[in-house]
């Protein structure tokens, strides 16, 4: 058996994580349907929205906790030691 331990890093998923691509696809489809009637295809392709302009990146992930630098000794800071211990379980 290996002795590997999970890195104590926690990535919180933002409120928009599940609906991110749904919102992007909806905005893109709406724009493409409106552009199908135009004759200039090159101009129409440039008007398709970028996914980063449709949904703000700050809504995609709220925060990240990196506990790798927290102390390994419980006497120094008990709360941070417990967080590191819980996040680095096997």
pLDDT tens-digit map of 36-48: 777 777 777 788 8
Helix, coil or strand: residue 39: coil
Whether residues 9 and 25 fall in one domain: no
Quick one: 81 and 52 in the same domain? Answer: no
| Residue in this structure with the two tokens 């058996």, named with its chain if needed | 1
Q: d(Cα 5, Cα 18) in Å, to the nearest integer?
A: 29
pTM (2 d.p.): 0.46
The pLDDT assigned to 60 comes to 64
Domain tally, the chain: 2
15: confidence class by pLDDT, cuts 50, 70, 90: low
Residues 28 and 45 in one domain: yes
What tokens were used for 51? 């996914």
Residues 69, 84 within the same domain: yes
Q: Measured between alpha carbons, how far is 69 from 24 in angstroms, rounded to an integer?
A: 37
Per-residue pLDDT reduced to its tens digit, 51-63: 878 877 666 666 6
Between CA 50 and CA 22 the distance in angstroms is 14
65 shares a domain with 55: no
Are residue 52 and residue 85 in the same domain, yes or no? no
- 64 token code pair: 């990240």
Q: Of the candidates 15, 8, 17, 1, which has an alpha carbon nearest to the alpha carbon of residue 64?
A: 8
User: In which domain, by residue range, is 71 found?
Assistant: 1-15+61-90
């Amino acid at each position: 058996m290996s002795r590997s331990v999970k890195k104590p890093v926690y990535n919180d998923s933002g409120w928009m994580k599940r609906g991110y691509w749904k919102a992007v696809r909806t905005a893109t489809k709406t724009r493409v349907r409106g552009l199908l009637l135009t004759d200039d295809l090159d101009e129409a392709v440039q008007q398709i929205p970028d996914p980063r302009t449709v949904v703000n990146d700050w809504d995609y992930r709220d925060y990240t906790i990196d506990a790798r630098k927290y102390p390994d000794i419980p006497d120094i800071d008990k709360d941070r030691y417990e967080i590191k211990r819980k996040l680095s379980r096997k």
